[in-house]
Amino acid sequence: MFIDIHVHTRRIPGFPRVGTGKTYATPQQLLERYDALGIESAVLLPGVSPEHAHVPQSIEEVIELSHEYPGRFIPFCNIDPRMLKNTADAPLGNIIAFYKDKGCKGVGEVTANLPFDHPFVLNLFHHCQQQQMPLTFHIGHAIGGCYGLYDEPGLPLLERALQKFPDLIFLGHSQPFWAEIAPLETEQARKGYPKGRVEKPGRVVELMQRYPNLHGDLSAGSGHNAVSRDEEFGCWFLNEFQDRLYFGTDICAPDTPTPLVGYLLQLRDEKKISETCFLKIARENAVRLLNLQ
């Protein structure tokens, strides 16, 4: 029923993740969760940047897992903007093309803690656009002390990237991204999960209306919170952008909650979103974006 646009797994769980003390789910643990939840397949996002992964993961591992579990896992390659030469003219297209040829369907999750408009980052966007590979990004709220591409409140650097690379599909993700589905009450709110009614649309809505290359990755607590904090507004948002939204879980630990599954099913069953809208978000948009057979 569902295709998960965003998940992480490790064959050997390894070093516990800082902040949680938990290890990544193994492929077997992940598939047990998926079988119970009705998730048929998932995009595997390797962790390569030290700000997030702590111990980097090879792209080869997720490619191997996609071969080991055909039809269940879909590999992305992940390219740190500092790879190869640590310069603004590094030939990142070569490595992207290499992994595209190996079956990778996109790039991400990009978590390097550099400004969204850093020359290294713009170089990565340039090569992703040339290789026609969608890119999943995580926005960080600061430089240092967190992970993800840094942007300011109001997402001005993301907007410039959307303008500069109109043929690159950007998949938006993380708390500082989804917090701006409504206007920010405080700058601190972008670090978490703002609650309450959405009295008027925020910058994410404005950017999605203005730039068709901005798509929404609804994974994790941030995505679920964005569409559930105000059910009426959330249903409007899901219907308005039903062709550019993607179900996801962002399962990291074996017991990561997955509230979006039940929430989307409830909205469909209560006819607050149509079956057509549900199916697009649950799986069909991913099939189209990633050219899945």
User: What kind and span of H or E run contains 68?
Assistant: helix 59-68
- Delimit the domains of the chain by residue range: 81-290
Res. 194: pLDDT tops 80 = yes
Taking Cα atoms as reference points, which of 91, 148, 85, 87 lies closest to residue 115? 148
Q: How much is the pTM?
A: 0.97
Taking Cα atoms as reference points, which of 179, 258, 249 lies closest to residue 217? 249
Res. 18: pLDDT tops 90 = no
Distance between CA atoms of 204 and 277, rounded to whole angstroms? Answer: 20
Mean pLDDT of 162-178: 98
Render pLDDT for 61-100 as a digit per residue (tens, 0 to 9). 999 999 999 999 999 999 999 999 999 999 999 999 999 9
Position 254 scores a pLDDT of 94
Q: Which residue has the tokens 């040339």?
A: 130
Q: Could you give the residue ranges of the DSSP H alpha helices within 191-244?
A: 203-210, 220-228, 231-240
The maximal CA–CA distance of the chain, rounded, in angstroms, is 53
> What percent of the chain has a predicted confidence (pLDDT) above 70?
100
- pLDDT class of 52 with cuts at 50, 70, 90: confident
Do strands 39-44 and 135-137 pair parallel, antiparallel, or not at all (unpaired)? Answer: unpaired
* Four-way CATH pick for 81-290: 3.40.50.1000, 2.40.110.10, 3.20.20.140, 3.30.70.260: 3.20.20.140
- pLDDT class of 267 with cuts at 50, 70, 90: very high
Q: Return all residues near 252 (Cβ < 8 A) that are at least 6 apart.
A: 8, 17, 20, 22, 24, 25
